[in-house]
Amino acid sequence: MAMSTMGSMFSSHGGHSADVRITLLFGGYFIPVAQLGPGFLLLDAPADLPPGPASIVLRVDQSERRWDVRLPNGISAASKRVAITACV
């Protein structure tokens, strides 16, 4: 199969890239999350904040999901990695 045929095959399917955003709501702050993993999240720009309850907002295109978590160690400006636990 020629490259020009392959290119037209891919472009005719009309791909879609989802707009995915993760935000941590904590103490009145809206903090962008770079990555979410099991029991942790990574922040681009961490700041010193104490332990406490928070919410994670996951938005994919126009759909939004929100859940409550706890930051048992708070956030340290010295580390991008933040421990999270489920609220029970």
pLDDT of the residue at 1: 38
Residue 5's pLDDT is 42
Domains of the chain: 19-86 (2.40.10.220)
Dihedral over alpha carbons 22, 26, 28, 33 (to 10 degrees): -30
pLDDT, averaged per 10 consecutive residues of the chain (88 residues), comes to 43 72 93 95 94 96 94 96 93
- For residue 13, the model assigns a pLDDT of 55
C-alpha dihedral sign at 52, 56, 81, 36: positive
